[in-house]
Amino acid sequence: MNMYGVLAPQSELDDHGPGGRWSRVTGWARSHRTFLGVVMLPVLLTMGYLFLIASDQYQSEAHFLVRTTDAGVTGGIGVSQVLSAATGLSAAQSEAMSVSDYLTSHDVVATLRKRDQLVERFRRSGVDITSRLSSDNPTPERLLGYYRKQVSVQYNTETGITTLKVRSFTPQDSYHLVRRLLELGESRVNFLNQRGYSDSIATSRRQLADAEQALTAVQLQLKRFRNAQSDIDPKASGQAQIELVTSLNGQLSTARAQLSAMGGLIDRSSPQYRAVAARVAALESQVAAQAGRLTGGGGAIANDIGGYEDLQLRQAFLSKRYEAAATSLERAREQALRQQLYVVRVVDANLPVKALFPERWRILATVVIALLLIYSIGWLIAAGVREHAA
């Protein structure tokens, strides 16, 4: 019976009953089965996974800079020399980029796996199977791939700041891994400093060692030469010999003049004349002998002076070479010290409180929009086909 007291038809009663409502629902579902299958079912499955299954992930973040002691130095050291020449980057920029690359490398993953239980941290109990690491003994390649999904290292070329982000399933794990990666980055910078310092001064050290060896050799030759000649300074000895020959020549000239004067006054057979003549002969013999020591024969002083002066010249040249090499080494050492790198922690690691991942509402909205677009495009194509067929 209806509101006016008139008995309602049976069909109307069926439509308002439970069976009628279910019939309308099933009818609507049949007529919209494509929409339900393409849009609603995937959305419901996505919501079920995101809000009922997906595990919370906590992100810890840190920022750091790689700088040189001397901010005005733009030349690289070690590997950065090549990078700076090829890209125009400064030493700090080149090394910061190398540190960023190192933090996502096999070396770091192997270190974390061995010392920091990396696999165990990514396989915490209670974590859903689609989010956690799939194997408790993964291959290095698989572990590296999963690590790179959970760890982000981005270098900003404008500010020079490197941003380090780590996601894991507990706040403590994310915080620990970020702190550990910062320590590994600092260790890497220290290694680059040591290698760069060694590379920078290695050439100067070799040059200094060569100069020292050559100088020592020539000094040993000088010592042997003096011992062989039994003369500590052949040059001085030669000068003394020259003075002796000069003095004897002066005496010889005086004696000859005296003998010539006597020859016009007294008889040549007189004892006085003979004495002066004998003195002249003796002086001539002495002059010839002393002059022979200067220039004649293999043991002449002139030969000794020539060899000695040659050794002295080489010694002086090698001494200057040694001084130049020592100065170059000191300059290279100072420059290398000015180019030493260090890490500045702009923002230290934080202990996360709220889980930021997965971004459930953003993912759900993206899925809904994508499915609606797919459904709309498909509906338009189907409508066009039907219209063309009609």
Q: Provide the pLDDT for residue 232.
A: 61
Domain residue ranges of the chain, discontinuous segments joined by +: 58-207+338-347
Q: What is the pLDDT of residue 229?
A: 66
pLDDT of amino acid 389: 80
Residues 214, 217, 221, 223: is their CA dihedral positive or negative?
A: positive
Give me the pLDDT at residue 301, please: 59
pLDDT at 282: 81
> What is the predicted pLDDT for the residue at 146?
96
pLDDT at 4: 40
pLDDT of residue 19: 62
Cα separation of 111 and 115, whole Å?
A: 6
pTM listed for this prediction: 0.63
The one-digit pLDDT tens for each residue of the chain (390 residues) are: 444 444 445 444 455 555 667 777 787 777 788 888 899 999 999 999 999 999 999 999 999 998 877 654 333 344 444 444 444 456 668 888 999 999 999 999 999 999 999 999 999 988 999 999 989 999 999 999 999 999 999 999 888 899 999 999 999 999 999 999 999 999 999 888 888 778 778 888 888 899 899 888 888 887 887 776 666 666 666 666 667 667 877 887 887 888 777 776 777 778 887 887 888 788 777 777 666 665 555 455 555 666 777 888 888 898 999 898 888 888 888 877 776 888 889 999 999 999 998 989 999 999 999 999 999 999 999 888 888 886
